[in-house]
Structure 1
Amino acid sequence: MANNMENRLNQANGTFVNFDSYRQEYTTHYNALRDAVYSEWKAARVLGKLVNGYTLGGGYGDNLKVSMPDEFDLVIHLTFPENDKIIATADPRKPGNVILDMSKVMATIANQEHNKLVFELLQKIVNSKRQLLEDKLQSWLQGIMTQVLSKMGNRIEVGGEISPLCYKKCGPAHTIFVKGRYKYSVDFVPAIKLSAAQVVLAPEQKKYFAGTPYWDAIPKPMKPAQNENVSFRASFYDAERRLLHGKNNLKNAIRLLKQHRNVKNKANLKSYYIKTLFLWEATRQSPSYWQKPLTDIMIDMLSKLGGTLSVTPKKGKLPFFWDPKLDMFAELTDPQRADMFNCVRKTEYTFKRGDGNLTGDIENNVQRSFSNEENKPPNGNCQKASSKPSQKCSPAKPNEPKGTKGVATPNPKPNEPTPRPEASKKKPVEAQSGTKPKATVEPTSVKPNPKPVKGATPPAVAADNKKPVEAQTGAKPKTKVEPTPAKPNPKPKAATPPAQPNQTNQNPPNGNGAKPKTNGNGGSSPQPPLPSEKKMNDESSCKVM
């Protein structure tokens, strides 16, 4: 039976996780948007002197994206003149973060005419100690991004089709939401690019970074946001990608866990948490471990994930791989942890039973672990189901009726007639309320009591039995109840489902991606086949631009 369980997991990986049928058109559209925005950043008077290539990051860059190619992360590398003179030190208040001292950089370029504009910028975005300030840097970039979108008319034309654009500042990212036929988002994440010589890591972590030429300091806001924040999150994306590369079923297991997370709507289980769990295991296990059956790996990793989420008898932890002093789950509440823990343990139990004896019921439960009809795109409308709040910042879409607010309306089911508005008004009260109508509604005469008592109230049961049907259903009774039987609605004519603007019919996703190629600027450009996720930003704190 174990072989059957393995087959079910492999089938789920091919059916519900991969998205090759959507890849080409989405990446073509994304490439056009990326190039348009990046070229504007590069052309900016001061920012253009700092921009130094880009890297496709997140789930796409790691080849870990699942379900739909609807989220892209683009890391925009920034380097200052005399960049190697930046002094990076660990932030003692925030494990995993660094402080960037720009003193030597500013002292060197202070009298350089060709770096005058950069020096003037630095004077505005450092504190009195000449430490770079996350909030001042982000505010400056936010202004530039707003100008870029305004210059583009908050829209982009690709292949003759216009897509409205919406900009939000979400965490460290400058996010553009694309509307219209293609619904996806792109996180433009600024990152100060630093060399291996400037790395701030403990000896144990430094050995896993060895061989990586650079790392990044990300201007990620604190929670809650702080003015004059000097703390930047250290990011070792390139080293992480190398640690996860070439380990057989490791990435298949990550993808399945992420798909399971999406289906069960456990948004608090962020993609980077899952990735961190596997980074730790990748350094503990031999390469041969990842050649084991996918069933064995999934059961092992579900068990380890449950251990990190446990609340009692001892609270589990998920240490940040690059600085174990930081517990990634510290920001979660006990109810949030308990909710995810129960879900993980239930799935682990199901998989263990299926591995021993895959009955029909267990097979259906395994299927439901990765498949949810509600999460499938409706009739070619490539917008995935999301727990994020709906976006209301986009301009009016071309070819879209007013008042839709950008909300996708699923097509009616094929061969299903569209009811006419007036038909519902003519339905008898029973049909509207859902109460099964009697064959004939007859007025019932109420016999008076032999000796009525003045002011007495009839028993409740008797009163209910003698009420007209409208009163039982809660509808307002008419002045007079006629005994005329309800006529059935005329059979509606078969209606043809209306054509949805800006939508195409697409086949279910299938297939895997490949590692991205590197562009001329040292970044990566997704080309089919393309790597496949996105860290799940907390949009509750996003600011609409």
Structure 2
Amino acid sequence: MSFTEYLKQKLINLQISSNDHKVYTDDAEALIDHVVQELKKKDSTFNDLFDSFNLCGSYLDQVKLDLPDQFDLHMKLKFPFKVTPIAKDSGYVSLCAEYKYISKKEDLQRAALQYWLHSVLKKVFPSDMILRVGGKEYTLSYRPGTFLCAHKIKAVSNKRNLSIDLFSTYEFTGSQWPFTDPPVPQNVRNAYPWLAIDMFDIYEDGTSFIVSAPLWENALIKDNHKLKDVLRLMKGLRDANRTQLPELSSYMMKTVLLHRAATVDWGRDLGELLVEMWSHLVEHLDNGKLEFFLTKNGNLLRRMQPSNRKICLDTAKVLLKSLREAKLANDKFDNMFA
């Protein structure tokens, strides 16, 4: 078996069956729909502000590897007043609220927004909730995430357990992009919105929201099957060596590929592409810098503890050596992937 044939077989092994995916996502959507309806009943302000939920991350890009039991959802809110995004450090914006009737402008405070959302969710979850979905009885519990930036709902049944993280987001049009033009075609920016996400970062203050445009990024890679296969394989390597690759997120690996999506010949051999992209990951870990894809200059690796980055670098180098040797040997591939 050649190295490329081995990788193709691993891709088959890493795939989640469409039936498993549907069963889990159907249950998660039904549970969240119920919670949303209860939130609307319990709090009139939430009823006015809530717009929609959207799946994000690996589900959106269809590169999810693990059992589909953990979901990240963007909870989109809309305010009844004008909100203008203002660029801060690369990758972050403040949201300036303009209150028409009192002629006042001020930056929205993340802590105040999260305290309000927490109080609304506590109205629905004074204690655990029992729900029956898809013939299964789930016990739902709620707790705020770290620093109140995410709201976590756990759903436990005798057949499966689900974990759902809710992140509050605020949507803007492409014409409201406050930075220099991103490496995304104008037609994509016109067609899809971008988001300001309330997500904690220890390096930012209480008025900073993280910029994200999952639909822009998805449009760039959705038809690039080789890129997505390479990303799946990189995630498989990470998952097989998770304890030795602490804090290495799927989005970090995706960003490595996004930076090269328009310049790499993706028609090349799958094994060559995997080795090349993993070597770029090693370079970023070694340099300690991985720029944000949309805004440049910022550094995703800043979110890693320095000691963990060193561990990741050492492990990634060992794996790169193994990949190169396997590609040359074309016969020894055991224990490389989960």
TM superposition score normalised by structure 1: 0.57
Per-residue deviation at 1:307? 0.3
Work out whether 1:252 is the aligned partner of 2:245.
no
Change (3 A) 1:319 1:25: same
> Given that residues 19 and 69 in structure 1 are in contact (C-alpha distance below 8 angstroms), is that contact kept between their aligned partners in structure 2?
no
- Is the partner of 2:125 in helix, strand or coil? helix
Per-residue deviation at 1:254? 0.8
Q: Match for residue 152 of structure 2?
A: 175
Change (3 A) 1:345 1:167: same
- Is the partner of 2:160 in helix, strand or coil? coil
Work out whether 1:370 is the aligned partner of 2:331.
no
Q: Match for residue 56 of structure 2?
A: 57
Q: Match for residue 223 of structure 1?
A: 202
> Given that residues 167 and 199 in structure 2 are in contact (C-alpha distance below 8 angstroms), is that contact kept between their aligned partners in structure 1?
no
Among 197, 214, 220, the alignment partner of 1:243 is 220
Distance in 2, Cα, partners of 1:246 & 1:135: 39
Structure-to-structure mapping, 1:288-437, within 5 angstroms: 289-310=265-286, 315-359=287-331, 362-364=332-334, 368-371=335-338
Change (3 A) 1:201 1:141: same
* 2:109 partner letter: L
* 2:333 partner letter: E
Work out whether 1:150 is the aligned partner of 2:126.
yes
Among 176, 187, 193, the alignment partner of 1:198 is 176
1:52-96 CA distance string (max 9 Å, x none): 1222112111111112111112212111124xx3221112xx421
* 2:236 partner letter: Q
Among 164, 176, 190, the alignment partner of 1:211 is 190
Among 88, 111, 117, the alignment partner of 1:135 is 111
Change (3 A) 1:249 1:73: same
Work out whether 1:278 is the aligned partner of 2:278.
no
Distance in 2, Cα, partners of 1:138 & 1:251: 34
- Is the partner of 1:269 in helix, strand or coil? coil
Per-residue deviation at 1:97? 0.7
1:491-519 CA distance string (max 9 Å, x none): xxxxxxxxxxxxxxxxxxxxxxxxxxxxx
- Is the partner of 1:130 in helix, strand or coil? strand
Change (3 A) 1:290 1:168: farther
Distance in 1, Cα, partners of 2:8 & 2:44: 51
Q: Match for residue 77 of structure 2?
A: 78
Name the % identity: 24
Distance in 2, Cα, partners of 1:233 & 1:242: 20
Q: Match for residue 375 of structure 1?
A: none
Distance in 1, Cα, partners of 2:30 & 2:126: 17
Per-residue deviation at 1:188? 1.6
TM superposition score normalised by structure 2: 0.90
1:373-397 CA distance string (max 9 Å, x none): xxxxxxxxxxxxxxxxxxxxxxxxx
- Is the partner of 1:290 in helix, strand or coil? coil
Work out whether 1:96 is the aligned partner of 2:91.
yes
Work out whether 1:4 is the aligned partner of 2:10.
no
* 1:33 partner letter: L
Per-residue deviation at 1:202? 1.1
Distance in 2, Cα, partners of 1:292 & 1:237: 26
Larger radius of gyration: 1
Among 142, 162, 187, the alignment partner of 1:184 is 162
> Given that residues 50 and 80 in structure 1 are in contact (C-alpha distance below 8 angstroms), is that contact kept between their aligned partners in structure 2?
yes
- Is the partner of 2:171 in helix, strand or coil? strand
Q: How many residues align?
A: 331
Distance in 1, Cα, partners of 2:125 & 2:63: 29
**More strand per residue:** 2
Per-residue deviation at 1:205? 4.1
Deviates more, 1:69-78 or 1:158-167: 158-167
Among 32, 35, 41, the alignment partner of 1:34 is 32
RMSD of the TM alignment (CA)? Answer: 2.3
* 1:174 partner letter: H
**RCO comparison, higher one (Cα < 8 Å, 6+):** 1
**More helix per residue:** 2
* 2:200 partner letter: P
> Given that residues 66 and 259 in structure 1 are in contact (C-alpha distance below 8 angstroms), is that contact kept between their aligned partners in structure 2?
yes
> Given that residues 246 and 308 in structure 2 are in contact (C-alpha distance below 8 angstroms), is that contact kept between their aligned partners in structure 1?
no
- Is the partner of 1:284 in helix, strand or coil? coil
Distance in 2, Cα, partners of 1:5 & 1:73: 34
Per-residue deviation at 1:157? 1.4
Distance in 2, Cα, partners of 1:220 & 1:331: 12
Per-residue deviation at 1:129? 5.2
* 2:152 partner letter: T
